[in-house]
Structure 1
Amino acid sequence: MKITLAAFTKQGGKLCQNLQQKLNTQGYDAKGYSKYQIDGAGALEDSLDEFTRNAFGVSDAIVFIGAAGIAVRAIAPFISSKDCDPAVLVIDERGRYVIPILSGHIGGANELAKIIAKILDAQAVITTATDINEKFAVDSWAVNAGCHIMNIDMVKKVSAAILNGEQVGVHSDYPVEGSLPDNVIISDSTKVGICISDSFKPIFSETLHLMPRQYALGIGCRKNTRYAELLNFVNFILDINGISPHEIEAIASIDLKIGESAIRSLSMDWRVPFHTYSANELAQIPGDFSKSDFVKEITGVDNVCERAAVKANNGRLVVPKCSWDGITAALSKKDWRCRF
């Protein structure tokens, strides 16, 4: 998770630097900026509007250290939708309270607030109704279960029904495991319900449709491939195999391609991670893969796209290597289950 921190006072800057360091030691990619010069933190030189615009474009989470009003005014012009906005949190400059103010569930702001509160020995101030009433939050569950929310407006219908004590049905095309949350039942007959499928089925009068991300996309390409060419080819492969881009959980390739602009752009546009592996890591993946002496000479491994796809989600190869004009792609599918 890439986290951008911003502080507006000297005391806040010290907290910013300290939190940046501690988050990074826990495996996060955190970068702090301060209006006042603080060793270890970057300088907050841009206008707040420009800083926030840039942070929205590259961050999974933004943490403002200062007054909540500053954060609210800063993010207001850039808020788009709860399924694509980054998590936004506010921390007072003394580090006593951590308050998620945007994308609490889908963006993970609530969970991040709890993590930061533990780091700072502070109090997380959670205000979302399902959380404070200890009820099932379907959007949080969907993200953690690896599902794409197809019709985001229906989340509030499901949450409202659960908060009102009504039963919410679940229709799943996949095996269901675990104990169902309160007010959630396996049924097609409730008014409000959740359909978990790779195709839209209006099972209920008010249906929230969740699509599991079951596939990993392995890609190989020549250097400086144009993004439009890569995108068109990948969409063609998905289309002929009846797979939605929303079913892709990750994109993968060899580490030689870590800076490949077209693949990175696809990852950003589809909002899925881009994983890269060394030739040695790919060579160790067991399975029956197509082989190319030319690819091995260039990369050090006989196949990139198939091996990378299988490595990314520990699945089985379902679409073997397809190639066109210097681009290769393959798809791996994992055994997804509906786990509560």
Structure 2
Amino acid sequence: MNLAIISVTDEGQKLAEIISSYLENDPTVINVDVFHKNVKKTLQQSFRKYDCWVGIMATGIMVRSICPLIESKFNDPAVLVVGENGKHIISLLSGHMGGANHFAVKLAGLIGAIPVITTATDLNGKIGIDTLAYQYWLNIGPSKLTEKSELIKNINQHLAAGGNVDLFLPQQYTFLENHPLISTSYHTKTWGNSFIRASLCGNDLDLSPKRMVAGVGSRKGVTEDQVFFALRSALQSLHLPVDRLDAIATAEIKSEEKGIERAASKIGLNLEIVPLDDIKNFSHPDCTPSDLVNRKFGIPGVAEPVALIEAGENSRLILRKTAYNGVTVAVAVNEV
């Protein structure tokens, strides 16, 4: 997540710096920028550069500022509003698809605030179909926004009213049955297709998984258990099981590490080997170069570049490189 925090008062600016310092250690936050004052101008210039905006100000200021910028729940960033005293966090925009509800709860836990969530599915203990798409990195079809919005609205209204929706799952995604809200929201069925389908009264909404890759680097001689623990811990940071991964990748220099290969096999995936030349010639704004790796192997890094390369063009990091007992993991998804 690329996140921006903007404040309008001196007390708000202090809280913004506190929040920023907390998020520096969160591997799921790729970048945090802090702004102060000039709210309308800043939002007009940078609204879509970030996945989430946290406004430390009166709700009315934020509402008036973003109103001309809003387009659709499918591409608007999440917007949260926090009082300068840090007591409440309001999920204002893109609560489901943008993850504002999720991040409001997370941020509230960091600063000891009360999250304010108003979406009907959440208030009724259900998981909306668009929330499911956000949480598990799924693209929603069909391509027409009006048709897609109508299907989502109908499904979520049915769920909020106490109904259940049929959910067809590929074998790889049967782990969704373990989600605590799935059984109260959906009737799950396994099928042979590679995508997920929500079906209500003959109307179908299809969700296609985005390609997700874990890039792995390690010290020499790491064990299968070390690598598996690192992968599981990395995915837990994203609130995902390892079964959600589509591939595990490492660099050519680690191709002989049996621990990495066996951990990939344990999850049921082949280990993808990325040639050194591909890494040397690769650059991406999400990558943080490693001087040590560059001096030793002549490449900018291992975990982050291999994850992004193997995820494909239009990929982004959703977990920056994080070390777990001799094993480094980064996770990337393809946004297409």
Superposed, 1:9-24 pairs within 5 Å as 9-24=9-24
Deviation digits for residues 235-272 of structure 1 (CA, Å, limit 9, x no counterpart): xxxxxxxxxxxxxx99999xxxxxxxxxxxxxxxxxxx
Secondary structure of the 1:135 match is coil
Counterpart CA distance in 1 for 2:198 and 2:185 is 22
| Structure 1 unmatched ranges of 5 or more | 36-46, 189-193, 219-248, 254-276, 314-340
Q: Which residue pairs with 1:30 in the alignment?
A: 32
The CA deviation at 1:139 is 1.4
Counterpart CA distance in 2 for 1:78 and 1:201 is 31
1:308 lines up with 2:306 in the alignment:
yes
Answer whether contact 1:90 1:101 (CA < 8 A) is retained: yes
Counterpart CA distance in 2 for 1:11 and 1:34 is 11
Answer whether contact 2:164 2:185 (CA < 8 A) is retained: yes
Answer whether contact 1:7 1:65 (CA < 8 A) is retained: yes
The CA deviation at 1:301 is 9.0
Answer whether contact 1:4 1:55 (CA < 8 A) is retained: no
% identical equivalent positions: 27
Counterpart CA distance in 1 for 2:246 and 2:45 is 24
Q: Which residue pairs with 1:4 in the alignment?
A: 4
Superposed, 1:157-306 pairs within 5 Å as 157-175=154-172, 176-177=174-175, 178-179=177-178, 180-186=182-188, 197-198=194-195, 205-214=202-211, 280=253
1:68 lines up with 2:59 in the alignment:
yes
Answer whether contact 1:196 1:212 (CA < 8 A) is retained: no
Q: Which residue pairs with 1:148 in the alignment?
A: 139
Answer whether contact 1:100 1:110 (CA < 8 A) is retained: yes
* Bigger Rg, structure 1 or 2: 1
Distance 1:214 1:33, change over 3 A: closer
The CA deviation at 1:126 is 0.8
Distance 1:251 1:11, change over 3 A: farther
| The structure with more helix, counted as a fraction of residues | 2
Distance 1:251 1:10, change over 3 A: farther
Distance 1:288 1:196, change over 3 A: closer
Residue-pair matches, total: 241
Distance 1:109 1:283, change over 3 A: farther
Alignment RMSD, CA only? 4.2
1:79 counterpart (45, 50, 70): 70
Distance 1:204 1:294, change over 3 A: same
Secondary structure of the 2:63 match is helix
Secondary structure of the 1:181 match is helix
Secondary structure of the 1:182 match is helix
Answer whether contact 2:121 2:156 (CA < 8 A) is retained: yes
| Structure 2 unmatched ranges of 5 or more | 143-147, 216-244, 262-269, 283-296, 312-336
Moved more, 178-187 or 96-105: 178-187
Distance 1:78 1:283, change over 3 A: farther
Secondary structure of the 2:117 match is coil
Answer whether contact 2:59 2:81 (CA < 8 A) is retained: yes
Give the counterpart letter for 2:26 in structure 1.
Q
1:138 counterpart (129, 135, 140): 129
The CA deviation at 1:288 is 9.1
Runs of 4+ residues deviating >4 angstroms? 194-204, 249-253, 277-302, 309-313
Counterpart CA distance in 1 for 2:195 and 2:71 is 26
Counterpart CA distance in 2 for 1:139 and 1:64 is 24
The CA deviation at 1:48 is 2.9
